[in-house]
Structure 1
Amino acid sequence: MINVLWLRSFCTLVEVGHFTRTAERLNMTQSGVSQHVRKLEEQLGVPLLVRHGKQFSLSSAGEKLYAGAQDIMQALVSLERNVGEDPPFEGLVRVISPGSVGLKLYPHLLALQKTHPKLIIDYRFAPNADVEAAITNATADIGFMTSKSSAADVRCAPIAEESLLLVTPKTATEPDWHTLMGLGFIDHPDGAHHANLLLGANFPEFAHVNQFPKKGFSNQIGLILEPVSMGLGFTVLPAHAVEAFAKPELISVHSLVNTAKETLYLCGLRHRSFRQRMETVIAEAKNWL
């Protein structure tokens, strides 16, 4: 394989036409330029220059090499430029989070993309375990989790807190333990965890979500409150998911004596820094969370 440094010296020499000025342009010594050309000739096994004292012209092999090297050198220049560039409002940013966070963030990130059309938002909704896996496998750039990752390759930093809310049908104005048992629980992927945090802090009778009759399940964050709005049961959800529900007039949201909150963590690969476009998205996310 041709040595790129030798090739650069040869091409620059052809363009400048003088050993001394080539050395000055490349910040080398004249003997260094001569050595590069000589090593290139030795590697290819053909003379590249026809020397006339201090002057030179290209041999036929030298002409072929110079002609063929133009695209290569230009590609290397472009590669160096592209690698060094890190625009804050251009490029793909892959984000993944639990549904409640996504309901809050995604519209604002779309608004950011509309302002900066070259910034492309790829947003996935997933539970914590899948967020952790996506960061570990580098299939996502930015992750948000409601529990701190235990994976060695994932770094997490707390950035916000989100309240958990008890949500019942509109008719349940002051739900006590007896009322909740009568309604039954509308479950979801984080239902047991959320119920443990909020109900465990407010009802001495509570031991486990399985105490309640199970009246339904949905893994679609935007649909969990549909059965609640129809009077089929109650649930516990993060505030962002409740705020996003399209029929607030059909539900009751209750403030309990003892509040419960989830810490939201910003996650990324431990040994990889965020690019500028990712920092742009993170700043926008922090603004709304």
Structure 2
Amino acid sequence: MINPVLLRSFCTLVEVANFTRTAEQLNMTQSGVSQHVRKLEDQFDQPLLIRHGKQFTLTDAGERLYREGREIIRSLSDLEKRVGADPAYEGLVRVVSPGSVGLKLYRHLLNLQKRHTGLVIDYRFAPNSDVERLIAEHKVDIGFMTSPSTLDEVSFKPVAEEELLLVTPSDVFEPSWEQLSSLGFIDHPDGAYHAGLLLGANYPEFQHSKHFKRAGFSNQINLILEPVSMGLGFTVLPFHAVAAFPEPDHIRVHSLAQSVSETLYLCLHTNKFVPGRVTTVISEAEACLE
């Protein structure tokens, strides 16, 4: 295998056409340059230069080595730049979060990508357990969770609070326990958990969401409020999911006496270097969630 240091010396010598100036350019001695050329000649077992005093001409082998070597040196130089580069607005960034915060963040991050087209946003919606696993397995760069991680591989910090909201059909003005029981619960994957937090803090009668008539279910965050808007039941959802609903006049959001919020945690792999593009997306996400 050719030593790239020797190859660089030879190519520089051919381009400068002078041993002394080549040595100065490479911060070497003139004898060091000559030694590098001799080592290459020994490796190829044929002369590369024909010397004429202080001048020289290339042999056929020297011509071929220079043509090929120049491309190799250029490629190595480009590789060094690419490996050492840490662009803030280029490359793929993989993000995963629960659905509600995703409805808030995804469009914001797409606008970031629109401003910096070298950046590519890969956004997935997933429950907390999947977010945690994907981070631990190095399958995503950034995760958001609504509970602290239990894994050593996942570091986390609180970045925002998201209020839980009781949402009913638009014709319900002050929801009593009897009205909620009559309407029935529109369930979703986090329905029991959210209902337990908010309704448990505001209705003494509440024991568990399963005690309500089950009036519907959807696992698509952007569809959960559809049956509510049609008068088919009520539900409890985080703020961003409610704010994203396109027909707010068809639902009613209620401020209860005891407000309840979920803490949103930014999660990263504990032992993974955070490149510039990921830092950029984190900064944008935190600003969006303030």
Shift of 1:26: 1.9
**Match runs of 1:238-253 below 5 Å:** 238-253=238-253
> CA separation in 2, counterparts of 1:42 and 1:272?
45
Equivalent residue number for residue 268 of structure 2: 268
1:126 paired residue number? 126
Query: 2:112 matched to 1:112?
Result: yes
More moved, 187-196 vs 271-280: 271-280
CA distances 1:115-147 after superposition (whole Å, capped 9, x unpaired): 333333332222223323333343433222222
With 155-164 and 262-271 compared, the bigger mean Cα shift is at 262-271
Aligned pairs for 1:2-41 within 5 A? 2-41=2-41
- The corresponding residue for 1:181 is 181
Give the Cα separation in 2 of the matches to 1:31 and 1:207.
89
Percent of pairs identical after alignment?
65
Q: Please give the secondary structure, in 2, of the residue aligned with 1:82.
A: helix
Q: CA deviation at 1:226?
A: 0.8
Deviations 1:128-177 (A, max 9, x none): 23323333343433222222223333322221111111112223322233
SS at match of 1:201: helix
CA distance in 1, matches of 2:154, 2:35: 48
Which residue matches 1:287? 287
Structure 1 residues 90, 176: closer, same or farther in 2, change over 3 A?
A: same
Which structure 2 residues correspond to residues 3-152 of structure 1 after superposition, within 5 A?
A: 3-52=3-52, 54-152=54-152
Segment of structure 1 superposing worse, 50-59 or 204-213: 50-59
Change (3 A) 1:186 1:35: farther
Q: Give the SS at the match of 1:151.
A: coil
CA distance in 1, matches of 2:208, 2:72: 67
Q: CA deviation at 1:53?
A: 5.1
Q: 2-side partners of 1:113 and 1:82: how far apart?
A: 21
TM-score by length of 1: 0.88
Structure 2 unaligned spans of 5+? none
How many matched pairs?
289
User: Where does 1:156-235 land on structure 2 (aligned, <5 Å)?
Assistant: 156-235=156-235
The 10-residue stretch of structure 1 (242-251 or 103-112) with the greater mean CA deviation from structure 2 = 103-112
CA 1:40 to 1:135, structure 2 compared with 1: closer, same or farther past 3 Å? farther
CA distance in 2, matches of 1:84, 1:41: 33
1:200 is paired with a residue whose SS is helix
Moved more, 205-214 or 217-226: 205-214
C-alpha distance 210-95 of structure 1, shift in aligned 2 (>3 A): same
1:142 counterpart letter in structure 2: I
Superposed CA RMSD in Å reads: 2.3
Deviation readout 1:48-97 (Å, 9 max, x if unpaired) = 33345554433322221111112211112222223333333333333222
Shift of 1:220: 0.8
Q: Spell out, residue by residue over 1:219-244, the C-alpha distance to the aligned partner (whole angstroms, 9 max, x if none).
A: 11110011111222221110000011
Residue-by-residue CA offset, 1:22-56 (whole Å, 9 max, x unaligned): 22222233344334333333333333333455544
The AA in structure 1 aligned to 2:176 is D
**Alpha-carbon distance change, 224 to 17 in structure 1, aligned in 2, over 3 angstroms:** same
Structure 1 pair 253/73, CA: closer, same or farther in 2 (3 Å)? same
Distance 1:194 1:37, change over 3 A: farther
